[in-house]
């Protein structure tokens, strides 16, 4: 497990598999009705509990196994909140589509209201993890959550400000109204800035990996963070290039009512 290529492979596999698993569960619930959205979210609450336990359990242990466990624990915490968001359990007070013609600051207010509860919850969770991690030796669980949140925030801002390609194929009906807040256009000023910041973060993790002792938990931790950040950069490129990224998960996903409904709406701002 001290081989960094194992960390790279594991990071890529978990990114692909856990994304597909969340999409599978959400779309499975979507085919069965609104009540199932809450059912699967609450039913999988133990994943969140186990994630927090693993996160706390590894804080004072910087061994290779502990670093892997802290990484997976943060993914578990993040995954549950992503599930809660996609099922509509934790989103925001605004659950309707953006009216046609609304622009400017009013458009921002409506978009923020559509995701406010989710974003505020994630800030509280990150703050809690930060407090728990303060002064501890294994910070890779905290840094994993940080990378995930930074990538999510960057992606959402780019979707709001405008990108050429937006994939809504897997967007369930519970959050289908979010599509009306996206904007298909040329990239904004924020897109190159976000890529620059993510690339700088990747360079920082790479430098940490280079100076860390070979075969140490620190080296594996930085390798996992670098892999996760590079995948975030790849996801940003999916917003501007004509690549059928949905094929990576389509075969895993049960057919959902949302795909047809969203195509019929055509609610993107252009």
Question: Domain spans of the chain?
Answer: 4-265
* pLDDT at position 260: 42
Q: What Rg value do the Cα atoms of the chain yield, rounded?
A: 19
* pLDDT at position 173: 84
* Half-sphere exposure for 244 (CA within 13 Å, toward CB): 5
Mean pLDDT of 95-124: 94
Round to whole Å and give the CA distance between 265 and 171: 13
What are the φ and ψ backbone dihedral angles of 163, each rounded to 5 degrees? -145, 155
Residue 264 — very low, low, confident or very high, per pLDDT cuts 50/70/90?
very low
* pLDDT at position 2: 80
Round to whole Å and give the CA distance between 150 and 199: 12
Among the residues of 87-133, which ranges form H helices? 104-133
Mean pLDDT of the chain: 89
* pLDDT at position 168: 80
Residues in contact with 50: Cβ distance below 8 Å, sequence separation at least 6, in sequence order: 73, 76
Mean pLDDT of 261-266: 41
Q: Does residue 248 register a pLDDT over 80?
A: no
* pLDDT at position 221: 96
For 3-60, what is each residue's pLDDT tens digit? 889 999 999 999 999 988 998 898 888 888 778 889 999 999 999 999 999 999 999 9
First to last CA, the chain: 48
* pLDDT at position 198: 97
* pLDDT at position 255: 60
Residue 265 vs residue 234, higher pLDDT: 234
Residue 266 — very low, low, confident or very high, per pLDDT cuts 50/70/90?
very low
Q: Could you tell me what percent of the chain has a pLDDT over 90?
A: 73
Compute how many other C-beta atoms are within 10 angstroms of the C-beta atom of residue 164. Answer: 13
Residue 257 — very low, low, confident or very high, per pLDDT cuts 50/70/90?
very low
Residue 144 — very low, low, confident or very high, per pLDDT cuts 50/70/90?
very high
Residues in contact with 44: Cβ distance below 8 Å, sequence separation at least 6, in sequence order: 25, 80, 83
* pLDDT at position 246: 67
For 183-236, what is each residue's pLDDT tens digit? 999 999 999 999 999 999 999 999 999 999 998 999 999 999 999 999 999 999
* pLDDT at position 262: 41
């Amino acid at each position: 497990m001290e081989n960094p290529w194992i960390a790279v492979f594991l990071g890529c596999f978990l990114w692909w598999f856990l994304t597909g698993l969340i999409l599978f569960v959400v779309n499975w619930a979507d085919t069965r009705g609104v009540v199932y959205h809450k059912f699967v979210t609450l039913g999988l609450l133990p994943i969140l509990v186990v994630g927090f336990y693993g996160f706390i359990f590894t804080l004072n242990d910087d061994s290779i196994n502990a670093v892997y466990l802290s990484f997976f624990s943060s993914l578990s915490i993040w995954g549950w909140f992503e599930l809660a968001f996609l099922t509509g359990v934790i989103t925001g007070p605004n659950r309707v589509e953006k009216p046609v013609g609304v622009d400017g600051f009013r458009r921002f207010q409506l978009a923020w209201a559509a995701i406010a509860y989710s974003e505020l919850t994630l800030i509280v969770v990150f703050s809690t993890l930060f407090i728990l991690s303060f002064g501890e030796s294994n910070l890779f669980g905290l840094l994993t959550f940080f990378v995930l949140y930074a990538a999510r925030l960057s992606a959402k801002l780019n979707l709001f400000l405008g990108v050429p390609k937006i994939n809504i194929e897997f967007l369930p009906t519970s959050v289908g109204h979010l599509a009306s807040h996206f904007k298909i256009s040329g990239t904004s000023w924020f897109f190159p800035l976000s890529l620059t910041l993510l690339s700088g973060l990747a360079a920082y993790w790479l430098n940490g990996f280079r100076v860390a002792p070979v075969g140490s938990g620190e080296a594996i931790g930085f390798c996992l963070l670098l892999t996760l950040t590079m995948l975030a950069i790849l996801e940003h490129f999916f917003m501007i290039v004509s690549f059928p990224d949905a094929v990576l998960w389509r075969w895993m996903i049960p057919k959902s009512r949302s795909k047809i409904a969203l195509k019929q709406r055509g609610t993107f701002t252009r």
